[in-house]
Chain A
Amino acid sequence: MKNVMIVATNTFREAVRDRVLYNLVFFALLMMAAAILVGQISIDIEKSVIISLGLTAISVIGLFIAIFIGVGLVSKEMDKRTLYALLAKPLPRWKFLLGKYFGLLMTLTVNTAAMALGLYAALWVVKHPLVRADGFVLVAVYLILLKLGLIVALAMLFSCFTTPFLAILFTAGIYVSGVYAGDLRVMRVVQMDPGMLKLLRIVSYALPNFENFNVMGAVAHDRGVPGILVGNATLYAIVYGAIVLAIAAVVFSRRNLK
């Protein structure tokens, strides 16, 4: 586990050195502009707009980082040939992969936490003082982080067997399909073959359902999110993430790096 943590810490440091966290400046500017403008253009939904905008920004910025950096985690090491020096040491490939994963997750956690603070600051400016219901925003942020964790795992899996460009396309494709996974299950199409309907149903469960992590609508209206939902979504992310990382580890360990 120590090896995994060393790789993770170095991945985090590298991300900071690569100025990944500079996106926070963009987020801060967006939130400041929103806090100033929202009172002038919204009618009694200032708080809802700030929360929706803030969570959307956290999610979109996180998505970009998760996909682009996630795909580059392994391929960059191969391109720069630093991977060979690392793997020459007593470090199994799966541990290297896991370390990279946790390193990016650490970066995303710091990034998301900083953005959540910015969101609370904007909320305070628009509707101070903050009330207890504003705490639900943290639940939404946590679920976004779970979603990002799953996306990083998928990005790493694809980057293990294909080019970075294709890995980005595959991850983005899975993300978009995953948003509609629930719709596949309830799709009412006239004259569809029962076999096809069954297949759609299976696909809908096999795809990562990213809607599981979306409670933006509820928290924007001060509605609480049941603890059981948060618990199950957490388990879902862990189980699905573990499957994806296990496949990635097997693919990566069998890959010919010569």
Chain B
Amino acid sequence: MKSRALQGIALGVLIVLGMAEVWNLQRKIDAEKQSLQLESEELMLRSGSMVTRMSLEYAPLMAAIYWTRAVQYFGEKHHLQDQDLQLLWPLLDITTTLDPNLLPAYRTGSSFLSDAPPRGAGEPDLAVKLLERGIKANPEQWRLYQDLGNVYYFDKKDYLKASQAFQQGSELPGALIWMKAMAARIAAEGESLETSYFLWKQVYDGAKEPELKKNAGSHLRMLQVELDFRAINHLADEYEKQTGHRASKMSELVQAGLISGVPVDPDGYPYVLGEGGKAELNLDSPLLEEQVMQKK
């Protein structure tokens, strides 16, 4: 009987001391986990937070599944040329709430959101929201500032904020030197074809995600066309000054020695001079369809 009582006392002491140590350790672990940025501090008000709670410990896997769904959703809509992309934001919202460190979801997702239809959802404000969330969760990722600057520059035409985003990103460790230069250039000049080309080239060169690379490549090709048009039209103006009439065929510029051969677009189709002697895409060029879609 006495030994049973002793056993009970010993167990009681063990439980009290043990639980005190558990409490102490838990406080330490909480502090360490906060520095790992593994937990979101949001209230359980949004569906993303609810999904996070429901996925128990397996939120990263759920995030990967939601991200795959978001890409498939966007790809399917794009393929069907359906511009109703209502589900894109909720999918990206849930994905990044489940895993705040999933960088491709911010980078490619913001590109899906910000691009004007038919390329994207035409929701630059949501793209800014997504990227700002990404920056908050991953403050060391300068590429997110690059994406934010691009959204402000290309889609919102807010050159001051674009310049600020590039400037903030340029101050982070590992940021490439051109970020600082771009911040100054946009602040001074606003939008120009050369700046746009340079920015898309940086996206293209730095993109690991095939969708992001493809989108940047498409923008680059169309910007190259714009740059070529400008150069050809400049030469056509020169020809008009020399001869007193506007050239109607590209061969006339070649014969006048202004260009060595008929220039071709990024897909290899020769440019033509259209009405008013202005440079145009060849009717056979696949880029023509892209140009029409962009104008829409």
Q: Which residues of A contact B (CB under 8 A)?
A: 41-45, 48-49, 51-53, 56, 59, 176, 179-180, 182-183, 186, 188, 205-206, 209-212, 214-218, 220-221, 223, 225-226, 228-229, 232-233, 235-236, 239-240, 242-243, 246-247, 250, 253-254
Contacts and interface: CB of A to CB of B under 8 A. Distances in A.
Nearest to A50: B64
A33 B22 CA distance: 41
A41 B68 contact: yes
A52 B61 contact: yes
Given A220-B60, A250-B11, A239 B21 contact: yes
B36 interface: yes
A176 B57 CA distance: 10
A103 to B, nearest CB: 23
A223 B19 contact: no
Contact of B36 (A51, A53, A215, A235): A215
Given A206-B19, A215-B38, A226-B36, 14 more contacts: A41-B72, A42-B68, A43-B108, A52-B64, A56-B58, A59-B58, A211-B33, A223-B101, A233-B29, A236-B26, A236-B29, A240-B18, A242-B14, A243-B22
A240 B29 CA distance: 14
15 contacts: A43-B67, A43-B108, A45-B67, A56-B61, A180-B53, A182-B39, A210-B57, A214-B38, A216-B58, A218-B38, A221-B103, A232-B25, A235-B21, A239-B18, A243-B14
Nearest to B101: A221
A227 B162 CA distance: 40
Contacts of A209: 26, 29
Interface stretch (B191-199, B204-212, B240-248): B204-212
Contacts of B93: none
B21 A212 contact: no
B18 A176 contact: no
B26 A205 contact: yes
B2 to A, nearest CB: 15
A232 B29 contact: yes
Contacts of A218: 36, 38, 101
B15 A247 contact: yes
Contacts of A59: 57-58
Contacts of B43: 188
B267 interface: no
Chain B interface mostly helix, strand, loop or mixed?
helix
Contact of A43 (B29, B35, B104): B104
Given A210-B57, A220-B60, A243-B19, A229 B211 contact: no
B208 A243 contact: no
Contacts of B102: 45, 48, 221
Contact of B57 (A43, A183, A211): A211
Given A182-B39, A243-B14, A247-B15, A205 B71 contact: no
A112 to B, nearest CB: 15
B23 interface: yes
A211 B222 CA distance: 50
A49 B59 CA distance: 11
Contacts of A254: 4
B7 A179 contact: no
Contacts of B68: 41-43
Contacts of A232: 25, 28-29, 32
Nearest to A179: B56
B30 interface: yes
Contact of B38 (A45, A206, A217, A247): A217
Nearest to A176: B56
A44 B209 contact: yes
Contacts of B33: 211-212, 229
A217 B99 contact: yes
A228 B22 CA distance: 15
A180 B56 CA distance: 8
Contact of B23 (A49, A205, A216, A223): A205
Contacts of B38: 214-215, 217-218
A209 B32 CA distance: 14
Contacts of B39: 182, 211
The 9 A-B pairs of least Cβ separation, nearest first, read A52-B61, A243-B18, A52-B60, A229-B32, A236-B25, A49-B64, A44-B209, A214-B57, A221-B101
Nearest to B7: A250
Contacts of A206: 19, 22
Interface string B162-204: 0000000000000000000000000000000000000000000
A221 B106 CA distance: 14
Contacts of A214: 38, 57
A184 to B, nearest CB: 12
A225 B25 contact: no
A203 to B, nearest CB: 12
A52 B234 CA distance: 56
A250 B12 CA distance: 11
A247 B205 CA distance: 61
A223 B4 CA distance: 50
A16 B141 CA distance: 48
